[in-house]
Amino acid sequence: MTGETEPTRNINHVAVIMDGNGRWATRRGLPRLVGHRKGASRVREIVDLCPDIGVKYLTLYAFSTENWKRAEGEVAGLMSLFRRYILKEAKKLHENRVRVRFIGDRTRLDRKLIDLMASLEEKTAGNDHLNLTIALNYGGRDELTRAIRSLTEDAAEGRVAPEDVTEESIGFYLDTRYLPDPDLVIRTSGEQRISNFLLWQSAYAEYAFVETLWPDFSAAEFEDIVKGYSGRDRRFGAASA
Ligand code: FPP
């Protein structure tokens, strides 16, 4: 951390694709799960920093709908890491007035994890220092598919007419209905892809692709990127002044 606590302009919501845990571990001859564990400690540092630099919403891509294709042991290890993160961090997150919510399809997750997620959401529901959203079994296309399914069910039952379908009303069917759109999406590890993350919501987001692998991504680097971005002129399609 740089130690500066001056709030940044414009930055309300930062979303992060935390990539590179596997490579970080493999390069050191360690099992991939060690990289994920180190990655979890970076989550803690960045969560602590966000309120100090004026970031009110932080959304983290922890497990995608495609990540089930990984080796069984890695998937099981990640699920166990998520359970342990919740058990270990719940008290501190609540004391720091962090509101935690999850996006993604929970139906494929195990019962214990689903219950832990629900209890953390409930426990922290009244907090407003930082809104932390964790994307778990999340995919942008899956989210849109589930949203369209709900919308068409409502239409079939006469609750929605074609003229009611607007960009705003579609937003209410998404997992992110309570979130503003991200202002900035950061992806670590040098890959320049969005990998099915917040497809609808990132229409006007800025993107920062950085070479650093997630386990090496410090709070100071996060702060530098956010501050660098805060000076940019975002026009949302309009001409500059
Ligand atoms: C991508 O790196 C990372 C993941 C699939 C897992 C992200 C999870 C964490 C950072 C752990 C903790 C998270 C929370 C919210 C407690 P990769 O494995 O694809 O890396 P690679 O591209 O180098 O193989």
Ordered alpha helix ranges (H), the chain: 21-27, 32-49, 72-95, 111-123, 140-156, 167-173, 219-230
CB of 20 sitting under 6 A from ligand 1 = yes
pTM of the complete model: 0.93
Amino acid 148 reads: I
| Positive/negative CA dihedral, 126, 132, 137, 143 | positive
pLDDT tens digit sequence for 178-229: 999 999 999 999 999 999 999 999 999 999 999 999 999 999 999 999 999 9
Q: How far apart are CA 16 and CA 39, in angstroms?
A: 12
Please state the atom number of ligand 1 nearest to the C-alpha of residue 37. Answer: 11
| Candidate CATH numbers 3.40.50.300, 1.20.1260.10, 3.30.450.20, 3.40.1180.10; the one for domain 13-139+180-230 | 3.40.1180.10
Please state the atom number of ligand 1 nearest to the C-alpha of residue 60. Answer: 15
Question: Whose alpha carbon is nearest atom 13 of ligand 1?
Answer: 40
> Which residue from 198, 177, 176 is spatially nearest to 187, judged by alpha carbons?
198
pLDDT tens digit sequence for 149-169: 999 999 999 999 999 999 999
| Positive/negative CA dihedral, 160, 165, 169, 173 | positive
DSSP H or E run through 41: helix 32-49
Active site residues: 19, 67
